[in-house]
Chains A and B, each alone.
Chain A
Amino acid sequence: MRYSAFWLACAAGLALLVTAPVSAQERSAVKQGFKLAAKTNKTILLFRPSVSVGEQSMGGLFEPNAAWTEQAKANIQAALDRFQARLGNAVVVAPEAYGDEARNLEEHMALFAAVSRSVIEYQFFVGNRLPTKKRDNKADMFDWSLGEGVAALPGARNADYGLFIYNKDAYGSTGRKVLQVFAMLGGVAVTSGEHLGYAGLVDLRTGDLLWLNADAEMGGDVREKDGSEKRVRQLLEDFPGSDIGKTDAP
């Protein structure tokens, strides 16, 4: 990863020469007034995290690697367990769904991904922010929702909040990094690797998004234990009422 960071920095420097300056990108937000206090007996329902890890070859194809994926999943689970102990709130895994229930859950997952993409594109990305979202930002508002339909998701009846996690990681190969530098000379950004990560906490009564951490450029090499833990910290950092990502930092 050290090399990758170096190339990215080079790439960024070159990009600056040929593109208009853009201000920093925001990554996480909490709904106004929401606090998850410790030991309040709230139950958090974890929906089957969508996680896949692989390598990105020069052309940008995604090459999955099962061991990395399993490692990333195990790390997310372990982090949530520690998290649960520290929060004093229960984290339970949503029951397996079948048939119409599975279809409904899948559609909600697709909606969560679409909402996360919208938040990134139209609120977090300053240069492309929608005018109404600009005003929301000034008023400290974060107003997004998956709708009341979440109340009918499997397991929702016995929980207060739903945690949605979506990850897709592709690591750049050496060829791609070289390509990236050449591309920069032409003023075109080719990112080395793709690291999408969305984590969101949803009120299971109203569907309101209480907290979202969404980034198209996550850190942490999820292929390694340390890196994977870093990713989980990064995904769950700023989680309301949590100190993950602060005290854990090496």
Chain B
Amino acid sequence: MMLRRSGFALAIATLSLLALSTMARAHKLRVQGAAVTVAGSSVTVTPSRDWNSLGKKIGKNTETWTLDGEQLNDVTFFAGIAPGNPLVKERSKKHAPLPKFTRTTLLVEVPELLEGTHRTYKNSGAFKLLSTQAATFLGRDGVFFTYEFTDEDQLTRRGEAHAAIIDGKLFMMTFEAPRLGYFARSENDFRALVTSARLR
């Protein structure tokens, strides 16, 4: 790889903002074969390849992993969402409330919960649920579903999610990536991650 560096001054002027916002929490390497807990919970996964855990979090009980940046491949862990809470942090509780996971939410309703969250939180359009089926997750009865949506950057993304409700809390792993190339390329790596997930 050949690299060229641009002027020091220019880089500082344009990137000092970015530096301020991102250097506070650095991204971490998640090494192949090494079990690691996610989102400060009792869930552990053992990656089949190296991943990056992003420094920024979208919600209290979440953690996001990526290979090339979250626009291109986004694995998000929702590790123990308690009843009454949204999946991600609300921008404005009053003006733009997000749908909540509740005590009565059924597994078959989890896809609707994620759809409502995406439409409100990310302003995603044209969301389409492609399939929903029963599947075990974390050793419990769970749900596996696939979907597709178009984001504001005009890219259509595919997604798949595995979820289970354990002791009244929602546990879910999602994988989202552009349907052009990126989704198919890392789908198996995500599935391996799902299979490796354990609840301590």
Q: A residues touching B (Cβ–Cβ < 8 Å)? A: 8-9, 11-13, 15-16, 19-20, 22-32, 106-108, 110-111, 113-115, 117-118, 121-122, 125, 127-133, 136-137, 140-142, 144-149, 188-189, 191, 207, 215-217, 237-238
Contacts and interface: CB of A to CB of B under 8 A. Distances in A.
Nearest to B17: A189
Contact of A144 (B18, B68, B184): B68
A15 B10 CA distance: 11
Nearest to B72: A118
A133 B14 CA distance: 21
B127 interface: no
Interface of B (DSSP majority class): mixed
B69 A130 contact: yes
A48 B134 CA distance: 46
Given A30-B1, A111-B180, A118-B68, A15 B16 contact: yes
Contact of B11 (A25, A131, A188): A25
Given A107-B154, A132-B67, 15 more contacts: A8-B9, A19-B12, A24-B5, A26-B3, A106-B154, A111-B178, A118-B69, A121-B69, A127-B15, A127-B18, A130-B66, A136-B1, A147-B180, A147-B181, A189-B13
Contact of B12 (A15, A31, A144): A15
A130 B184 CA distance: 22
A140 B66 contact: no
B96 interface: no
Contacts of B19: 19-20, 22, 127-128
Contacts of A118: 68-69, 71-72
A16 B12 CA distance: 7
B128 interface: no
Interface in B138-185: 153-156, 178, 180-182, 184-185
B1 A140 contact: yes
19 contacts: A19-B12, A22-B12, A22-B16, A26-B3, A26-B5, A26-B6, A30-B2, A110-B154, A111-B155, A114-B155, A114-B178, A115-B72, A128-B22, A130-B27, A131-B50, A132-B50, A133-B52, A147-B185, A217-B13
A216 B68 contact: no
B29 interface: yes
B10 A217 contact: yes
Nearest to B55: A128
Contacts, number: 153
A192 to B, nearest CB: 9
Contacts of A130: 27, 52, 66, 68-69
Contacts of B28: 131
A28 B72 contact: no
B190 to A, nearest CB: 15
A122 B6 contact: no
A122 B22 contact: no
B20 interface: yes
A131 B13 contact: no
Contact of B180 (A24, A107, A129, A144): A107
Nearest to B155: A110
| Residue among A130, A188, A217 having the largest count of chain B Cβ atoms under 10 Å | A130
Interface string B33-73: 00000000000000000111000000000000011110110
